[in-house]
Amino acid sequence: MPNSPKDNEQRMEKMLNAWRTLAPDKTFGEMTLAQFEALITRAQAARQRINDLNDQLTEAHAERDAADDAFNAKARLVVAGVLANPDFGPDSALYEAFGYTRTSERKSGLTRGRKLPLSK
């Protein structure tokens, strides 16, 4: 089973710390400590880039939400203006084009259920 990125990060730190502490002058797997550090630095840089991109995404979501809030506040005013305008109002094509139901298109809501005959 492959390790998670968090597990890999912990393993890198553990191995690097142990190598630095216990055998800094030794070569393992045809690598020096400096080469191993360079390998880890590349992985850490990729992790940092991911963190930066996640921060940017969080910021973009916040900007979008703020812009949506501003839009919704103004949209309510625009709809209220259409409703109050004698040339348009709640039965106008413009009101319907905004995504609302025109007054003349509304259903009454009254329904009559079928009466089933009594079984004997």
Per residue in 76-114, pLDDT (tens digit) is: 999 999 999 999 999 999 999 999 999 988 887 777 778
For residue 110, tell me if it sits in a domain.
no
For residue 34, tell me if it sits in a domain.
yes
Domain of residue 38, residue span: 5-103
CA 62 to chain centre: 10
Length of the chain: 120
Q: How far is CA 63 from CA 29, 51, 57, 77, in A?
A: 49, 18, 10, 22
Do residues 89 and 104 touch, judged by C-beta distance below 8 A? no
pLDDT at 112 (0 to 100): 78
**pLDDT tens profile 15-61:** 999 999 999 999 999 999 999 999 999 999 999 999 999 999 999 99
Distance CA 87, CA 96 (A): 14
pLDDT at 1 (0 to 100): 60
For residue 85, tell me if it sits in a domain.
yes
Distance CA 100, CA 94 (A): 9
pLDDT at 83 (0 to 100): 96
Give the total number of structural domains in the chain: 1
For residue 114, tell me if it sits in a domain.
no
